[in-house]
Amino acid sequence: MKQALLVFLGGGLGSVLRYVISKPLNILLHNFFLGTFLVNIFGCLLIGVILGLSSRNNLLSINSTLFLATGFCGGFTTFSAFAFEKHSLLKNSELFHFSVYTIASIVVGVLAVALGLWLSKLGE
């Protein structure tokens, strides 16, 4: 029960922070959801660092990892919003923006996870 509560609290904090960051940034560029993109990339970097630290000599406890990776990062990153925004671009026949947004989010997200894992190993 304690672990479920940690995930719940982390998810709530992540969701609120996502809203605070995404809302103002999503209106800056036409047909590119900058806030969602940046939140997803930072979330990928963050989960890479968290899981890297967690697996490295148990620097983070299981409870800390659940709170931060599963809870906070799960609430902070926005795959459902990402999918909806891509649908909106397709619905409006914005194929170029759909393609750029989708490819950039996936490629940069995977690279951010790799960078986060690499950063977590610094100082070994």
pLDDT digits (tens, 9 = 90+) for 57-115: 778 999 999 999 999 999 999 887 788 889 989 999 999 999 999 999 999 999 999 99
Q: How many CB atoms lie within 10 A of CB 83?
A: 11
Structurally, the chain folds into a number of domains equal to 1
User: What is the gyration radius of the CA atoms in the chain, in angstroms?
Assistant: 16
- Cα–Cα nearest to 5, from 62, 57, 67, 51: 67
Range of the domain at 45: 2-120
Q: Is 75 annotated as a binding residue?
A: no
Q: Which two tokens stand for residue 11?
A: 């998810």
Q: Quote the pTM value.
A: 0.81
pLDDT in tens, 39-52: 999 999 999 999 99
Residue 78 annotated as binding site: no
